[in-house]
Amino acid sequence: MLRHYEITNFKAFGKTQVIPFKPITLIYGPNSAGKSSIIQSLLLLKQTLEDADNLDTMLLPQGKLTNLGNYREFIHGHDVDYAFSIKIILEIENESDLGLGLKFVYDQDTASPILTQIDVFQENAKLPILSYEIDLNNNIFSVTKIYSEHSFWQNWWNSFQQQLHEEFFQQVNRTLKEYNRLKPVRRSKKGISNALEKQIEPLKEDLEKVKPENRSESELAYCIDEIETLIDLEQQFSNYTLDDAIQDFRQVIAFSSGLGYRNFLPENSILFEEDENLRYKWKFKHLLQIHQALKTNQVLDNLTLKASEAVRKFLTEMIYIAPLRDYPERLYTFSGNVTDQVGKTGKGIADLLFTRDDVLESLNQKFQTFNLGYRIKTVKFMNQDDHQISDIFTLRLVDQLTNIDVSLLDVGFGISQILPVLVQSVASRNRTIVIEQPEVHIHPRLQTELGDLFIESIKSFGNRFIIETHSEHLILRIQRRIREGQLTPDDVLVLYVDHSNEGSACLELRLDSEGDFIDEWPDGFFEEGYKEIF
């Protein structure tokens, strides 16, 4: 479930807009204020993942779901010097919230957007755990900033401290075994520095016997340097702090690993080949071994990739229904597509009802609840040559009073417009359904019934809705159900989008436990009717 969303410098939105999504999110506002821009930004990400032929494409502004032209067209003020940023925080079942912040800039050389920064979020939507920046030379993302104030690092530090000294002791003895003249040491409350010093004293004496010009490259010199580094590390670890540990970790991770990506999402972790220049950097070597043994890199990579996969899953499973749905046809041919989606304009309704009797049954129950006066059925045709059922069929409406069936083409246009909304709401399970203007061409009474449809869908089927609408009747039904206790204010977000001097702005209009608005509607959005009457 999408819990928190932020958008910066996209179309009408300049300053960062924060949207705390809820199971039913209703987006209101005057025309051309930016309501659809919120949805279009999500569709931009979705179609990039689904339609981009090249996996290196960071953003795909023109696709099957939306056509935003190019970066210059969709960036705020058409100023390509602005960066486009979004933040997606998702509720993960039985786990902490996870999400990513993504920052895109315009690349003059390729005349296209590139992803320059990824922030990883857990629980706290304001503060990331860490940030990655792109290395265009190697096409990888590397850690560039760690936010030690985040609770993640305090929890990590509590665990790291408990394991650090044991791992360091084991590492010291593994190192001593590499040198023939040195022996493993035992643990001591006073530490192991004295024992190490005693072992390298004879080595230092022997090193004095080596010619001065050869001493720096002598194996004895390497051995002494490494053991002295271990002595220094033991002293350092005795007063180690979280900030010290993070600073050391940043030094080693910059030379050890990064993240690969596909489109705008991290996809896999990459281990760098050993750098010969770091071969005898003893402190780096041992810090790297410690963090590898305690799996610091692995924990962070797994967390980032898990957040990435959650974002990918949310976007690809998100369902979109456009404001104008397709006109029905008299005859359909089954495409062979077994689907659970009606599609952007409702084209998939026929295939879905052809293959899903359970959805057809639920749809007819909704027809009865909405008091539409019809039930819908599929009529399959038979091939006269072999008397086998063909793939050609039709959708018919049966009048409940006369029992006469008619084509969808022969009834009011409103039914064809509401049909995709009805079908998708009863066919989906645990999906986010984005709908623009579900009320179009629908009688006011049916608009109120849509409220109950959405409520049942979130309660019974685990779906979530993002709805751009102008319907007063829809929100009135929602308010009524809150007042009756069938819904809570935590289930509904009413967002009002309006123009401002600095670009469009989003305002949350809160509801209380009685379903009344705590905040006033800007500019009397629903007061026009009263003005006309009085």
Number of domains in the chain: 3
What are the φ/ψ torsions at residue 233 (nearest 5 degrees)?
-65, -40
> pTM for the whole thing?
0.91
Residue 44's domain comprises 2-9+35-146
Kindly state the DSSP code that residue 225 receives in the 8-state scheme: H
Q: Are 91 and 3 in contact (CB under 8 A)?
A: yes
Nearest residue to 82 (alpha-carbon basis) of 12, 132, 8: 8
Q: Which of 146, 174, 191 is the last residue of a domain?
A: 146
Q: Are residues 219 and 261 in the same domain?
A: yes
| Start-to-end C-alpha separation, the chain | 44
Note the pLDDT of residue 534: 41
| 502 within some domain | no
Q: What does the block give as tokens for 413?
A: 């246009």
| 95 within some domain | yes
| 30 within some domain | no
Q: Are residues 124 and 165 in the same domain?
A: no
Burial class (CB in 10 A: 0-12, 13-18, 19+), 165: middle
* Position 324, amino acid: L
Q: Are residues 81 and 177 in the same domain?
A: no
| Helix (H/G/I), strand (E/B), else coil: 327 | coil
Q: Are residues 161 and 281 in the same domain?
A: yes
Q: Which of 102, 130, 146 is the last residue of a domain?
A: 146
Tokens 């305090």: give the residue.
Answer: 154
Assign 3-class secondary structure to 388-405. CEEEEEEEEEEECCCCCE
Q: Are residues 56 and 118 in the same domain?
A: yes
| 75 within some domain | yes
Question: What b-and-e string marks burial along 116-144, b requiring 16 or more CB atoms within 10 Å of the CB?
Answer: bbbbbbbebbeebbbbbebeeeeebbbbe
Q: Are 5 and 472 in contact (CB under 8 A)?
A: no
CB-CB neighbours of 229 under 10 Å? 17
| 358 within some domain | yes
Q: Are strands 84-90 and 2-8 parallel, antiparallel or unpaired?
A: antiparallel
* Exposure on the CB side of residue 501, measured as CA atoms within 13 A: 0
Q: What does the block give as tokens for 43?
A: 């569709």
Q: Are residues 275 and 245 in the same domain?
A: yes
| 339 within some domain | yes
Q: Are residues 241 and 263 in the same domain?
A: yes
Distance of CA 310 to the CA centre of its chain: 6
| 453 within some domain | no
Note the pLDDT of residue 529: 53
Note the pLDDT of residue 533: 47
Question: Rounded distance, CA 54 to CA 263, Å?
Answer: 8
Question: Rounded distance, CA 472 to CA 469, Å?
Answer: 9
Question: Rounded distance, CA 352 to CA 337, Å?
Answer: 8
Q: What is the mean pLDDT of each run of 10 residues along the chain (534 residues)?
A: 96 95 96 94 98 92 96 96 98 92 95 95 91 87 94 94 93 91 86 90 85 73 91 94 94 86 92 68 91 92 96 98 93 87 94 94 94 92 76 92 92 90 96 96 92 97 97 96 97 94 92 95 64 47
| Helix (H/G/I), strand (E/B), else coil: 381 | strand
Q: Which of 395, 430, 465 is the last residue of a domain?
A: 430
Kindly state the DSSP code that residue 512 receives in the 8-state scheme: -
Q: What does the block give as tokens for 79?
A: 């100023």
Question: Rounded distance, CA 421 to CA 316, Å?
Answer: 19
- Could you give the maximum distance between any two Cα atoms of the chain, in Å? 113
Q: Are residues 214 and 126 in the same domain?
A: no
Q: Are residues 93 and 213 in the same domain?
A: no
> E-strand spans in 430-504?
432-436, 464-468, 492-498
Q: Are residues 407 and 326 in the same domain?
A: yes
Question: Rounded distance, CA 344 to CA 120, Å?
Answer: 31
Q: Are residues 193 and 255 in the same domain?
A: yes
| 207 within some domain | yes
Q: Are residues 198 and 102 in the same domain?
A: no
